[in-house]
Amino acid sequence: MSQKLPNRDAVSYGEAIRSKSVRVTKHRLLIMTALSHERLPISIRDLTKKVRSCNESTLYRSLESLVDAQLVRRVHLDGAAARYELSIDRPHHHHIQCVRCGLIQDVDICVRSKEEAVLRSTPAFASVVDHSLEFFGICKPCASR
């Protein structure tokens, strides 16, 4: 799963942003480029170290606009702050995190059509637009400790 992302340049991220009818700003471009270098979801605190021209609240607002445009995915692990990763250029996937050391890995497990059919029969909802699904476990090094 964790293959390297293609190295797009800023122009290409600009096109991706524009294609979602979102205004292309310097911060949005810097964030997309910084996220493209990350193999795993990253917290806002860690992202501020990589996008130094951007303070935490600007970073948060820019990230959320990219999440709304489905260019970036918000991932909730470890009950702490949300983490973010690019949602373009990589297949849809989920994550597993070690409850002891915090190690995160991608997993290729998803809800299949059977579960989505069940969701479609939920009376108050017309459609399912997205889902969030994370797994928690104990990694092998922690298990043998």
Residue placing its CB nearer to Zn ion in the complex, 101 or 118? 101
Least gap, CB of 85 to Zn ion (angstroms): 5
Buried b (16+ CB within 10 A) or exposed e, 48-73: bebbeebeeeebbebbebbeebebbb
The two tokens of residue 26 are 């310097």
Q: Does 72 bind Zn ion (CB under 5 A)?
A: no
Residue whose CB is less far from Zn ion, 76 or 100: 100
CB of 26 to Zn ion, least distance (A): 25
Residues 126-145 that bind Zn ion (CB under 5 A): 139, 142
With CB under 5 A, what is the number of residues at the site for Zn ion?
9
Instruction: State the Cα–Cα distance between residues 55 and 64, nearest whole angstrom.
Output: 14
Residues in contact with 2: Cβ distance below 8 Å, sequence separation at least 6, in sequence order: 39, 40, 105, 106
Find the binder of Zn ion among 4, 76, 100, 120 (CB under 5 A): 100
The amino acid at 90: R
| Strands in 21-108 per DSSP E | 42-43, 72-75, 83-86, 94-98, 104-107
Q: Which of 11, 80, 81, 101 contacts Zn ion by CB under 5 A? A: 101
Q: Which is nearer to Zn ion, 24 or 44 (CB)?
A: 44
Q: Does 98 bind Zn ion (CB under 5 A)?
A: yes
Interface residues with Zn ion (CB under 5 A) are: 85, 98, 100-101, 103, 106, 110, 139, 142
